[in-house]
Amino acid sequence: MGLFLAAGREPATSSRSLGQGSAPPRNSRGFTLIELMITVAIVAILAAVAYPAYTSHIRKGYRASAQSYLMDLAQKQTQYLLDNRAYAATETALNATAPTDVSNNYTISLDPSTGPPPTFIITAHPKDPGAMAGDGDLTINQAGAKTPSGTWGEMDSQCARAKGFTLIEVLMAVAIVAILTAVAGPPFVRLIADQRAKAAATNLYTAMSVTRSEAIKFNRNVTLQPKSGGWANGWIIAHPEGGANPDLLDANATGVPITVAPTSVTSVIYNAGGRLAGTAAPSFTIGESDMPQRCLSVDLSGRPRITASAC
């Protein structure tokens, strides 16, 4: 009897186990067709709008780095001329090494001429293939003249092509904007502020280099001074011979706050030897206080230097 009952219970237990094991999981689910279509549409919109804007800013960053390096080489050429009465033909002679983001995207060449007077042209040629392929050569010469003029230290003015959207696309775009505003907006704002600070620092660096070069050329003091209202409103390089001679440089407002230390510094004066005429070495903090900033400092030897921080 006991054996029969035990044998009778076993099939019932096995049947329950099979029934429990064959039940499908209740929490597993995949994507619906509508969800998949919305995802594809969002990716398409981002690919058409956001990605080109992102790559454009990456190219601007590479271009600004190349411009900064060319100006550094031009500054070193000025010092090299003072020491050797000729311009250098290689970066090695100037003890200069291109930053990685420059060497990866550009080929740098130095083309000096003995003159008289001695001259040079420094060229950054985009590598092809490469991220900057087709962007055009960047050049700077001994007088500080740069080509192409529209790309040096200025934000591109191209506008995105106008596009029409369907109602569904508009609704999805509103949702994307809400997400990007909450997640990607602050980093993007900081990126724009960083580019503006870098561009303003590059322009002021160029003005310093031109002032120093002109002081050496004219063999007398040359002054770089802010326009009325401060450095953020622009600056000028007054002609050392004065009179009816036009200013050597007249730069417009940068739209970026610029503070100088010490506050007693109201202008930067270079003497005939290319050194600062005063005893104070000024430093310029460029950019909003709560955003990425640049520090442009000038030592008493007259050489400006840019660092990616506040002074």
Q: Which CATH number is 216's domain given?
A: 3.55.40.10
Task: Look at residue 285 in the predicted model and tell me its pLDDT.
Answer: 93
Whether residue 117 is found in the same domain as residue 209: no
Residue 123 has pLDDT above 60, yes or no: yes
Whether residue 55 is found in the same domain as residue 76: yes
Where does the pLDDT of residue 6 fall: very low under 50, low under 70, confident under 90, or very high at 90 and above? Answer: very low
In-domain check, residue 109: yes
Whether residue 58 is found in the same domain as residue 171: yes
Whether residue 128 is found in the same domain as residue 204: no
pLDDT in tens, 211-258: 999 999 889 899 999 998 889 899 999 888 887 788 888 888 778 999
Whether residue 135 is found in the same domain as residue 239: no
Whether residue 68 is found in the same domain as residue 130: yes
Q: How many domains does the chain have?
A: 2
Whether residue 136 is found in the same domain as residue 45: yes
Residue 112 has pLDDT above 90, yes or no: yes
Whether residue 95 is found in the same domain as residue 234: no
In-domain check, residue 61: yes
Task: Look at residue 18 in the predicted model and tell me its pLDDT.
Answer: 43
Which of 185, 153, 189 minimizes the C-alpha distance to 66? 153
In-domain check, residue 2: no
Whether residue 172 is found in the same domain as residue 251: no
Where does the pLDDT of residue 20 fall: very low under 50, low under 70, confident under 90, or very high at 90 and above? Answer: very low
Task: Look at residue 153 in the predicted model and tell me its pLDDT.
Answer: 54
Whether residue 78 is found in the same domain as residue 108: yes
In-domain check, residue 263: yes
The DSSP line for the chain is -HHHHHHHHHHHHHHHHHHHHTSPPSS-----HHHHHHHHHHHHHHHHTHHHHHHHHHHHHHHHHHHHHHHHHHHHHHHHHHHHSS--SSTGGGT----HHHHTTEEEEEEEE--SSPEEEEEEEEPSSSTTTTS--EEEETT--EESGGGSS----PPPPP----HHHHHHHHHHHHHHHHHTHHHHHHHHHHHHHHHHHHHHHHHHHHHHHHHHHHTS-EEEEEPTT-GGG-EEE--TT-TTPPPSEEEPP-SS-EEEESTT---EEE-TTSSBSSS---EEEES-TTS--EEEEE-TTS-EEEESS--
In-domain check, residue 139: yes
Whether residue 43 is found in the same domain as residue 82: yes
Residue 49 has pLDDT above 80, yes or no: no
In-domain check, residue 157: no
The range of the structural domain enclosing residue 203 comes to 196-311
Whether residue 239 is found in the same domain as residue 261: yes
Task: Look at residue 180 in the predicted model and tell me its pLDDT.
Answer: 67
